[in-house]
A = this chain, B = another copy of it.
Amino acid sequence: MATIRDVADLAGVSVATVSRSLQQPERVSPKTRSRVISAIEQTGYQPNQMAVKFRSGKTHSLVVLVPTVANLFFARVISGMQEAAAQRGYTLLLGNTLGNPQIEAEYARMVQTAQADGVIQLRAFNPFVTDPSSGSGLLPMVNACEVLETSLCPTVTLDNRQAAATMTRHLLEHGHQRIALIKGPQASPLTQERLAGYQDALKQANIEFDPALLFDGDFTLHAGYEAARQILAHPQRPSAVFCENDETAIGAMQAIKEAGLKIPEDISIAGFDDISFAAFCDPPLTTIAQPAEEFGQTAVNLLVDVLTGKISKAPKVIMPFELIIRHSTGPAPGAAHLNQAM
Contacts and interface: CB of A to CB of B under 8 A. Distances in A.
Nearest to A292: B70
Nearest to A53: B50
Contacts of A72: 70, 72
A251 B57 CA distance: 49
Interface string A211-248: 00000000011000100000000000000000000000
A82 interface: yes
A96 interface: yes
22 contacts: A1-B112, A48-B113, A48-B114, A49-B114, A50-B50, A50-B53, A50-B59, A50-B114, A51-B54, A51-B114, A53-B54, A68-B79, A69-B75, A69-B78, A70-B79, A79-B96, A82-B94, A83-B96, A94-B94, A221-B279, A221-B280, A225-B280
A280 B246 CA distance: 12
A207 interface: no
Nearest to A277: B277
A91 interface: yes
Interface string A50-85: 110110010100000000111110011011001100
Interface size class of A (residues with CB under 8 A): 35 or more
Contacts of A70: 72, 75-76, 79, 276
A44 B133 contact: yes
Interface string A106-149: 00011011110000000000000000011000000000000000
A99 to B, nearest CB: 13
Interface of A: 1, 44, 46-51, 53-54, 57, 59, 68-72, 75-76, 78-79, 82-83, 91-94, 96, 109-110, 112-115, 133-134, 220-221, 225, 250-251, 253-254, 257, 276-277, 279-282, 284
A106 to B, nearest CB: 9
A248 B74 CA distance: 21
Nearest to A109: B46
A21 B151 CA distance: 39
B69 A221 contact: no
A280 B251 contact: yes
Contacts of A254: 280-282, 284
A78 B48 CA distance: 27
A107 to B, nearest CB: 9
A134 B79 contact: no
Contacts of A221: 276-277, 279-280
Contacts of A225: 280
A253 B277 contact: no
Contacts of A114: 1, 48-51
Nearest to A57: B50
A19 B90 CA distance: 31
A115 B49 contact: yes
Contacts of A49: 110, 113-115
A119 to B, nearest CB: 14
